[in-house]
Amino acid sequence: MSVVIGEMLIKSSSLQSLYRLMLLIRRAEERLQKLFADGDVPGFLHLSIGQEAVAVGISSVLGVADTVSSNHRGHGHALAKGVSLSGFFAEILGRADGVCRGRGGSMHVADLSIGMLGANGIVGAGMPITTGSALALKMKGAGNIAAVYFGDGALAEGVIHECFNLTSLWSLPVLFVCENNGWSEFSPTERQLATSLERLSAAFGIAFASVDGNDVVAVADQAGKFVNQMRDMPSPRVIECQTTRIRGHFEGDPQDYRNKEEMSMMSERDPIARARSQLLAEGLSDVWFEQLHAEVDSEIDVALKLAQGSPEPTSDSLVVDVYTPRLGVS
């Protein structure tokens, strides 16, 4: 069986893989939610629950040599790109076996070996990093692309104009992915931007598409079209994913600024619930979902146990990796 969206044919087996990865991200963040409530996670926690379809859909068309830059709500981006689950947990818990040796935490998860350039706590700061990465990739000429995730709150930042201008001027292969969840922290998006992302993209001559960011197949479909074009002929593209932030801006946010009607519609917009309904319609049974959920939970249990068993960084490792060794100097 298969599902046809646009010009892309997604087989049920592929949708099953997308569903599994979305579920893994959801379950991992739900576990972090509990750990944070128990006081085991240092610093703040910004969960991407409800936005999993964007990260999974985009990453489904990227390769290891393609690069990704993220933002403060970047857990899903990191896991979808292939960051080790145990290394991910260890990093957020501040342990030495974390992917950044426990120094970055929730908002700075990175793994350069798989093209994950890192999350970033500064709004919009991933865009210039990605622009630089795209320039390097274009110079190498291997057909790789650089993707950057940013929220609608970043649309009011000056850096987006600079990066749109430079990537268009130099025809750089950047896939700009806006996760528009309707909220810039605690303010509605319409109070932050005088124009639209579509008009802003057009002003710089950049191809634009808007998709249902809670439909993983729709995201993968549009991303696949754009990425194929970019590999053939480097130039930037913009995808605006209309999605839903189910949790608050940060853990502990009471969300008093959201009305009851919006909160009551959360379950209808849930990308995992929607993908489940699609798979059930394709003929999968409840037993398959039960087995998958148990498998994912077990995988998370193993990874988290490894992370919790990792030691905390020691003071003698404080400057390791801070300075680049000089060539020819031992």
* Domains of the chain, start order: 2-310 (3.40.50.970)
- Mean pLDDT, rounded, for 185-198: 76
pLDDT value, residue 255: 65
Residue 9's pLDDT is what? 43
More confident of the two residues 307 and 244? 307
User: How confident is the model over 202-226, as a mean pLDDT?
Assistant: 97
Q: What is the pLDDT of residue 63?
A: 95
Evaluated on CA atoms 137, 143, 148, 152, the torsion sign reads positive
- What is the end-to-end Cα distance of the chain in Å, rounded? 59
Closest-CA residue to 69 (of 10, 122, 22, 7)? 122
pLDDT at 253 exceeding the cut of 80: no
Contact (Cβ atoms closer than 8 angstroms) between residue 226 and residue 173: no
Q: How would residue 1 be classed by pLDDT, with cut points 50, 70 and 90?
A: very low
What does each C-alpha distance from 257 to 49, 64, 149, 188 come to in angstroms? 18, 40, 25, 9
Question: Lowest-confidence range among 42-51, 170-179, 274-283?
Answer: 42-51
Q: What is the pLDDT of residues 32-70, one digit of tens each?
A: 989 988 888 988 888 888 899 999 999 999 999 999 999
Q: Give me the percent of the chain exceeding a pLDDT of 70.
A: 86
Q: What is the pLDDT of residue 188?
A: 63
328 pLDDT above the threshold of 80: no
Overall average pLDDT of the 81-103 stretch: 94
Answer whether residue 194 shows pLDDT above 60: yes
pLDDT for 268 equals: 75
For CA atoms 31, 37, 40, 44, the dihedral sign is positive
How large is the average pLDDT for residues 158-175? 97
pLDDT score recorded for residue 244: 83
Q: Which has the minimum average pLDDT: 153-162, 178-187, 256-265? A: 256-265
Is pLDDT larger for residue 302 or for residue 11?
302
pTM assigned to the model: 0.88
pLDDT band of residue 245 (cuts 50, 70, 90) is confident
Q: For all residues of the chain together, what is the average pLDDT? A: 88
Higher pLDDT, 37 or 279: 279
CB atoms within 10 A of CB 170: 15
pLDDT score of 5:
40
- Which phi and psi (to 5°) does residue 238 adopt? -125, 130
Greatest CA span in the chain, whole angstroms?
A: 65
Q: Is the pLDDT of residue 13 over 60?
A: no
Average pLDDT over residues 141-148: 96
Cα gap 71→160, rounded to integer Å: 14
Which pLDDT score is estimated for 267?
Answer: 67
Taking 80 as the threshold, does the pLDDT of residue 169 lie above it? yes
